[in-house]
Structure formats: C-alpha cells, structure tokens
Structure 1
Amino acid sequence: MTATSSRIAAFADRWPKLVALLLGAVSATGFAPLNLWPLTLLALAGWMTLVAKAPRGRRAFGLGWAFGVGHFTIGLNWIATAFTYQAAMPAWLGWIAVVLLALYLAVYPALAAWGAWAIKPKADTHFAAPSYILVFASLWTLTEWLRSWVFTGFAWNPLGVIAVPHVAAPARWIGTYGMSGIACLLAGVLILAFYRRRVAAASLLASLVLFWGAAFLTQAGSDADAAVRSKGMERIPITVVQPNVGQQDKWEGSKADANFAKLARLTSPKDDTPRLILWPEAAVPDYLEWGYPSAYYDRSPAAARARLVALMNPGDLMLLGALKLELDQAGDVVGARNAVMTIHADGTLGPRYDKAHLVPYGEYLPMRPILSAIGLSRLAPGDIDFWPGPGPHTLDLGTFGRAGLQICYEIIFSGQVVDRAHRPDFIFNPSNDAWFGGWGPPQHLAQARLRAIEEGLPVVRATPTGISAIIDADGRIVESLPMHAAGRIDSFVPKAHAPTLFARHGNMLPVGFALLLLAAAIAFRRRGR
C-alpha cells in the first residue's frame, strides 16, 4: 500500500460516513449527462470496501444510508428545478425536496449494505470475500426492484442505466435491475484486483464477459430475425414534433395561439403520404370532448378538432397529449386524466390512453386534505388531482400498427410498460421534460433506451423541449432532436424484434438472477470464502 493510499485509508477510518457520502455523490456521475461510468464503478468499489470494514451492522447500515444520500442528491438534482415550476416556489425549497427524497431513497442501499455485511465472513481481513461481493450484487438488485414499487415506486436512475449505450445487451435477459447487479459485480472485480486476488478477479471478469458476449450475439441474431420478418411488411411513416415550448410558456393563456402556431408550422404535411403524427404530452390546452362545464372551454371541441384536422392529410392519424376531466353526479369537476388521444383526419376521436403511473406532488397531492389544511397545497399544482388509468394497454391504430403508450415518467418502470397479452409494434412515449432541468431529459432518454432493449421494441419519444427521439429495438438512437430546439423528425418506426426473454417473463428474471447470486454467496460463505 502506497503512502497516499494509506492516508486515504486513515481518513476513511476517521470519517467513514463522510467518505461514504462523497463516494455516493461520485457514483452518480455515471448517469447521463456526464456518463462517467468508470467513476461509478470505482466509487462503488470504495464504498463496498468501507462497508465490509464496518465493526457493527448498525455502522454498515449508516454507511449505506450516507452513500445513498450522496448518490440520490446528485443524481436527482434536476428535481430542484422541477419544484420551481410549482406555483413559482423558491429554488431553496426545491433543494429541500431533493434532499428529503434522497433521505428516503437512501434506505434501499442501506438495507443492501447491512445485509451484505451480515453475510460477509468475519474472519476475512482482505475485505474481498467472493461471498460478500455476490451478496452485495444480489441485495442491491433486490432493493432496487423494491424501490420501483414500494409506495407506488420511484424507479428513476437504477444503477444499470450506466450501461447505456455501452454494454446493455444483457438487459434483454435480466432487465435493468439485473444490469445493476452486474455493475456491483464489476465493482467487485476492482476490489478483488486491488487486494491481489487475481484468480478470483479474473474468473469473475471472464464470467461477466462471456455473459455479455452471449447476450450480444443473441441481439445480433434478433437484428437478422427482424430483417427477415419485416420483408413485405408496410413501414409506418411518422412525424415527431418538438415545438420548443418551455414550461413557463406552456400554460400561459396569452401565448396559447403562438404555441399552437409553432406546433402547426412543424406539422404541416410535406406531401400527400399518409403518416402518423406524434405530438408531446399535454400538447394543447383545449378539451377535445364535449360534456364539461362551459367555463373550461376556450373554444368548442369542434373548433379545437378542426384546428388539428387542418394540419392533416386525408389518410393521416394523430396521437397527442390532452386532458380529460372527470365529473361527479352534480356535473362538478372532481378530477382529471393525463391522456393521449387519437384523432382521425375527419375529426373523429379514436382510442384513448390514460396515464396510470402518476407523479406524486406533480400530478396529485398525497394526503391532500391534511396538507391543504396546514397550507401545503402548493406542493402540487392545481386544486384537483389527476386520476390514474388502468395500466399498460395497446392501441390499435389500423394501418399504422399497434402502439403501446407510456406517458412521461411511466417509461422508467422496467417490466411495467407493455400489455404482454397484446404486444404492440412500438412504444410511444410522449413526455414533457421542459421542467426537468439540464440533467433530467438525458436521464429520461437513457431509461427509455433500456425499455427498448428489454422489450425488443422500438420507442418513439415526443417532447416539447427535447429530447425527442426514435430508438430502435436494440436501444440505439436512430434520429433525435436536441434540447431547447424546435424541429420535426420525418421517418419510419423501426422494426420490432421477437419478444425477448425479459419481454416474456418480466421482473421474474432479475429477481431470479438476484436469488441465484444470493444462493452462490451462501455456498461460498459456508466454505468460509
């Protein structure tokens, strides 16, 4: 051990929780937009070593919690920007929200750290026992999966996202949460190598390389299969529109006509080829259905639809984000739905999708009566809550194929984005990332790319300010529009693959992968390794 590493070790022994906090912050640099994934692996390795040296389980839990606070505070810093749009709240309140969320989310890595410490052979003085590394990867995978559904779930930035776009092929088999476990195993390779357990390090690395190679070859086979299956099939022409309308302008009544003019200019047909027009989430403030109180209409549904039809060729079809209201028996508005509506070129409405996975404090206020009574109703915009839809289902768009819909952050929930009984031809992800700051949109895009790989389906994203994109079934970006730029994409929906292993079995696979790692860890532990 060099003099420098000795000083670092001494500092870590004196201030372990501070070091864990800093390592957590560094680990978040592997996510978009920085994509410094080697730093993430190094930070993970340092933290795992720190946890292994903890004298008690309580200390291990505290080190995991400190790491999680740093990890989530940096990785989710864009939420501070999002809160400033909630009734013009001050920036400092946004940062309080980020830290409070991080304090909760940090419980999950804390549980993983405590469990891994409990299984580690206590006689191991090198802090590099194979059983410890395996159980750490297993428990991180399981706790991350828990994070995706406990209290409705918050699955943003699972560790496996750092594999995009480099080595994400195994997500076809073990999903994003399984990829998170692999990231922990790679950090374990660094630990084994540092403590000169070269045989163990080489064996683990070789196993991971072989696993990735098999997944990559399977992905290449899926490309060839898609090419064969697509022969003779009609391609789906699409126009993706990004108007570059910021969050501060979106609901400003005096700017409504100018905002629509931007959408109209970018939507006008270039020729008479029928196409599927894709607009962002909540693209227009107009209500397209009859039956609501007159005060809610700036223009009639007939006039609102006529404006849209004027932009379409006779064979066109449009999917756009719009709002739907819910009324009680007295005719009063008691709720709303964040919807994607289908409008035909003759002005008739087709099938609709209602967002199912709503954003707490963005689309509804948990415990609204209590928080309103103590003056905290401003934590969510509006006086009514959005209501959830029934969940993923596929819209039949006729000659334009079958579309699976995922509105905004619904796309981040691995294994929850497709109606498996009615598999779509592609996933449409309209979103409004205008309030996600500089880090949120590229992180959102990276997670959409993983959904494409997992499901073997292309994903098309339409956002008001970026990043709109067409993603193929291997997670590659075919075309995209940059942030804060107006534009349109005229292209075709890439071909889907046959259902992947993950598409058939969902999160049973990463959970099963984690349990296999846990079983291997227990076997090593019984042999004192």
Structure 2
Amino acid sequence: MTIPVGRKGLLAALLFGALSALGFQPVGLWPLVPFGFAALLWLLSAAPRLRRALALGWAFGVGQFLVGLNWIATAFTFQAEMPAWLGWVAVFLLSLYLAVYPALAAGLSWRFGRARPLAAVLALAGGWAIAEWLRATMFTGFAWNPAGVALVDTPWRAIAPFVGTYGLSLLSVLMGGALWLGLARRTSEAMVMAALLALCGLVGGLHAATPYTDTPIRIVQPNIDQADKWRDGFDRVAAEKLYALSTRQGRAGPTLLLWPEAAVVDPVEDERLYGAPAARFERLRAIRSLREGDLLLTGGLGVQSTDGYKVAGATNSVYAIDTKGEIVARYDKAHLVPYGEYLPMRTILEPIGLSRLAPGSLDFTFGPGARSLDLGHFGTVGLQVCYEIIFSGQVVDRSDRPDFIFNPSNDAWFGAFGPPQHLAQARLRAAEEGLPVVRATPTGISAVVDARGRLLDRIGWREAGIIDGVLPGALAPTPFARLGNLLPLLLAAGSLLIAIALGRGRR
C-alpha cells in the first residue's frame, strides 16, 4: 500500500490518532492504541525530513487528544458566563499544545530510526514515554490519558509495580512496533519483540491473592449533579441525601464512612471567620450519619485569612470527623486544576469575562503535597483529591507510606468520557504503589480498587448508591513505590540509546 504523503499524510495521522483514542475508556478497545502507533511508524517511514516527521507526530497527537479530552467541553457548560461552544475551542487549543509532546517522540523516531526500522520502533517507544513524563511535569502538568492506561484491563497491568505507567506506555508503543515490523516483512525482529511482549503478559498474569483488612467501609454516592451542587438552599437537600444513604441498613460495627469531594459545601472549620456556631452546625449535620466508633472522611471547603477577619483564600480539603463533631485530621489539595480551581493571570482574564469554571470569586490555594493521615484503628490514609490521582509517582508520601489511598472526587462535570478515564488512571496508581484505592464521587464512578489495580466494586455513572465492604490490604512496597519514575525513565532512556546505537551501526 502506498504511504500517503503531504497533506494526505497529515490527515491520515490525524485520523489514526483519533482512532487510537478509542482504545481508552469508556470505549476501551485497547488494541487500537498499539494499532495507532503502528500506523504512525508507517507514516514516519516515508517522511523525507525531520520537519515532516514532527508534523506527523503533532497531527497524530491532535487527533488523539481531540477525541480523548472531549469531556473538557462538557465542563464549560457549567460556567454561566461562557458560551457552551467555547468548551470545544478550549479542547482544540489544549490539543494543539499537548500534541507537541507526541511530535517530539515522532521526531526522535525519525532522527534515529531512518537507517533501521527496529531503531525507529525503539526510539519512538523511549521518546513517547519520556514525552509523557514531560507532559505530566511541564507548566503544572497535564498527565491525562497516557498510552499505558489503555492496558489497565490486560495482563500487562500487573507489571506496573515494576515499570510504572510510563513503562506501560513504552510497552504499548512496542506492541505497535511489533505489528508494523511484521507488516514491513521484518519477520525475525517482529517475532522476537512479540515473544518478549507475550512473556511480559504471561508473567504479569501470575500473582498471589490480594490481602484484606478487617476495616469496614461504606462509600456514599448521592448522585448530586454539578448544576445543583451550588444552587442556593440545595445544601439541605444534599445533606438529606447523604444522610439517607449513610444510615441505610447493612453496616456492622464501627465503620469508616467515605463521602465525595466537596460533599459539604460550607466551611466546617475556621470558626474565627464564620463563628463557632456556623462551622459547628455543618459538622453536626454531617455526623448525624455516624454511630458509635464510626469516622467520617469527607470533602469540604476551608477558608483562609491573613488577619482573622477578611477571607483571603480557600482550600479544597478533606476532613476526618469523629462522632463528637471534632476534626481529627485534615488534608488540603496540592495539585489544583488551572481554570477550575484557580484562574491564572486573573488580572488579565477576569476583566474580559473569563473566570473559573467552578463557582466563586476566590481562588483555591495550594496544599503542601502528599500526606498520610493517622485515622487511629482505621489505619493510615493517603489523600489524593480528584485530579491529583492522575500524576504517577506523586500520590504517596514515601517517608510515611499509608495503608490505603482515598480519592474523593467530583466528576459531575466530566461528561460521559471523563469518569471512566479517571477511574482507569486511579487503578494504575493502585497497581504502581501496591496500595488499595477507594473513590467516592457525587455522580460516579465511585469504586473500590485493590492493591493490584483490580476493580472490586463500583457504583455506575449517574447512579445513587452505597458500597459496603472491607478495605483491601496493602502489599509490600513495590519497586515503583521505592524508586518512583526512575525505573521507567531509565527504561525509556535505554530504549533510546539502543536505537541510537542500532542506527549508527547500520549507517
């Protein structure tokens, strides 16, 4: 088959990138991700110069992000001061920027793989993994939908404790590379690569049983829509929904009760600003759901002041509240969402009508980072609020390893694509760290994930309900838990170095 060049080549790259995005959730046709890489390698093999290779990688990335990030357009529909169509403009502009990283990987593949197809595969694999790590790091980072997350429901997920998410991304590219080499009649190289990939999958499928604790938990999903959440007077309706679900029959013994992000929309602390009666009222309303020995972990808002009187900022927080209404622990979200929780360049953007997607004129302030909170006989919890869970290698305080991770989230403004993609990434964090992850969201998908990344229970999108169960146990610290992204980055660098050596040898 003739390889398309010129504008036809760029259009083909765009379409193949868009098709590869269907390998992510909620469609979940994971083979389309390796197929997309095979198609990209095919197009790169006909690129006459580096400039064309960069353009092909960029077009591929634009297509993938346009489809995969369509949920961002839904988020804009909740901002009253912005027209809904502006959401698609935001998706398009963000995709143009994010596609720079696939372009870098494609450029490396062309530069070091012109002399030998195997070198092109290895360079794309190593370059793609490094580019994804950069995408998660630069300009506060946007780590959504790395290629490796497509493998979350395959046997290869089980090697995440060793190679991490970016190692799985490298593996995804190698799968596509094996397919392309086979079609290019590089049979021996394709067979060796396919055998190694199959061996990884076979080893990944062998593992011991998951341990369990004796800690009862109840996750509450009230199905509160984003359009209602901040409506005047709706806090009473929300409180009744949370109470009804929290007190539903079925609990046995002291239970850890888990509510979503910002389940309580009025401050439950900071009496100096709101007065002790107001803040305590919110806590007492929340703990109506508790019985003797229970503990509530709930998302809530905190306010900050420099003088004790004037509000200067807010925090997106999680509170541990006991049966007396006392706050025994608190975590403030550290990795905030630009334009969602704070407005960059506010003095410029606000006067022209652009504001945060979340209600309120105050920006949230940044917390100190990953922390482990002692919950007494319920164990030690690591907190990651909503978006924070997508950042591989940044979700755990490595000096104080928790027993589990709690990920309260508000996916109510993420459309139909965002929640299942968010859950898939949370599952990879569990597999990487060897720690169970429990999620509570207002509209779904709430879930229990074991320490191997397996989905044990869930409440579907747009459903109200509860999950009663026992908290899964943690595994021993994994290699990734000890070294973070050092191993996957070394693998990526090694793949690039081998590609360079092969290319020079052939020349």
Of residues 191, 202, 206 in structure 2, which corresponds to 1:202? 191
Instruction: Show the counterpart of 2:234.
Output: 255
The structure 2 residue matched to 1:239, chosen from 218, 236, 254, is 218
- 1:406 alignment partner in structure 2: 384
Equivalent residue number for residue 178 of structure 2: 189
Assess if the C-alpha contact under 8 Å between 2:302 and 2:316 holds in 1: yes
Is there any run of 5+ residues in structure 1 with no aligned partner, and where? none
Give 2:44's aligned residue.
51
**Distance (Å, rounded) in 2 between the aligned partners of 1:61 and 1:250:** 44
Contact 2:433 2:480 survives alignment (8 Å): yes
Q: How do 1:77-476 residues align onto structure 2 when only pairs under 5 Å count?
A: 77-87=70-80, 89-122=82-115, 129-166=117-154, 167-217=156-206, 220-221=207-208, 223=209, 227=211, 235-268=214-247, 270=249, 273-294=253-274, 300-329=278-307, 331-377=309-355, 381-476=359-454
Residue 380 of structure 1, CA deviation: 5.9
> 1:244-290, CA deviations, whole angstroms, 9 ceiling, x for partnerless residues?
00000111123221111110000016356100000000001222114
Read off the aligned partner of 1:180 and give its amino acid letter: S
Contact 1:322 1:341 in 2 (8 A): yes
Q: Which sits farther off after the overlay, 511-520 or 397-406?
A: 511-520
Mapped contact 2:16–2:36 kept (Cα < 8 A):
yes
Question: Once the 2 structures are TM-superposed, how far is the Cα of residue 330 of structure 1 from its aligned partner?
Answer: 6.4
Distance across 2 between alignment mates of 1:441 and 1:204:
34
User: How far apart are the structure 2 equivalents of 1:467 and 1:366?
Assistant: 29
Which residue identity does 2:135 align to in structure 1?
R
Once the two structures are superposed, residues 397-422 of structure 1 have per-residue CA deviations (whole angstroms, 9 ceiling, x without a partner) of 00000101000010000000001111
Distance in 2 (CA, whole Å) between partners of 1:107 and 1:515 is 19
Mind listing any 5+ residue stretches in structure 2 that lack a counterpart? none
CA distance in 1, matches of 2:187, 2:74: 46
CA distance in 1, matches of 2:169, 2:444: 27
**Does the residue aligned with 2:158 lie in a helix, a strand or coil?**
coil
Matches of 2:391 and 2:306, distance apart in 1:
32
Matched, 1:74 2:53: no
Q: CA deviation at 1:39?
A: 2.0
Structure 1 length normalisation: TM-score? Answer: 0.92
Pairing 1:495–2:465 present: no
Deviates more, 1:269-278 or 1:484-493: 269-278
SS in 1 for 2:312: strand
Partner amino acid, structure 2, of 1:493: L
What is the alpha-carbon root mean square deviation over aligned residues?
1.7
Answer with 137-146 or 328-337: which moved more. Answer: 328-337
| 1:292 to partner: Cα distance | 4.9
Aligned length: 505
For the residues of structure 2 that align with 1:463 and 1:14, how far apart are their CA atoms? 44
Per the TM alignment, residue 67 of structure 1 is displaced from its structure 2 partner at its CA by 0.9
Q: CA deviation at 1:87?
A: 2.6
Q: Distance in 1 between matches of 2:227 and 2:58?
A: 36
Q: Deviations over 1:200-248 (max 9, x none)?
A: 100011112223333443xx14x3xx64xx6xxx511101000000000
Q: Is the 8 A contact 1:83 1:89 kept in 2?
A: yes
SS of the residue corresponding to residue 326 of structure 1 reads strand
Q: In 2, distance between residues paired with 1:371 and 1:78?
A: 23
Q: Comparing 11-20 with 199-208, which one deviates more in the overlay?
A: 11-20
> How far apart in 2 are the matches of 1:34 and 1:118?
34
CA distance in 2, matches of 1:38, 1:120: 24
> In the alignment, is the contact (CA less than 8 A) between 1:393 and 1:405 conserved in 2?
yes
CA shift in 2, pair 1:526/1:272, >3 Å: closer
- Supply the distance in 2 between the matched residues of 1:360 and 1:496 (Cα, whole angstroms): 33
Check whether the contact 1:269–1:311 (CA below 8 A) recurs between aligned residues: no
Q: TM-score, normalised by structure 2?
A: 0.96
Distance 1:378 1:434, change over 3 A: closer
**Closer, same or farther: CA 380–57 of 1 in aligned 2, 3 Å:** farther
CA shift, 1:187, in A, is 0.4
Letter paired with 2:328: G
Distance 1:420 1:315, change over 3 A: same
- Identity %, equivalent residues: 53
Residue 347 of structure 1: how far off its partner (Å): 1.1
Moved more, 203-212 or 76-85: 203-212
Retained in 1: the 8 A contact 2:5–2:47?
no
Q: Do 2:66 and 2:91's aligned partners in 1 also have CA atoms closer than 8 Å? A: yes
Distance 1:396 1:201 in 2: 51
Contact between 2:133 and 2:166, CA under 8 Å: does it hold in 1?
A: yes
Q: Which residue of 2 aligns with 1:519?
A: 497
C-alpha distance in 1 between matches for 2:141 and 2:32: 27
What secondary structure sits across from 2:233 in the alignment? helix
Please name the residue that 1:37 is paired with: 30
**SS of equivalent residue, structure 1 residue 339:** strand
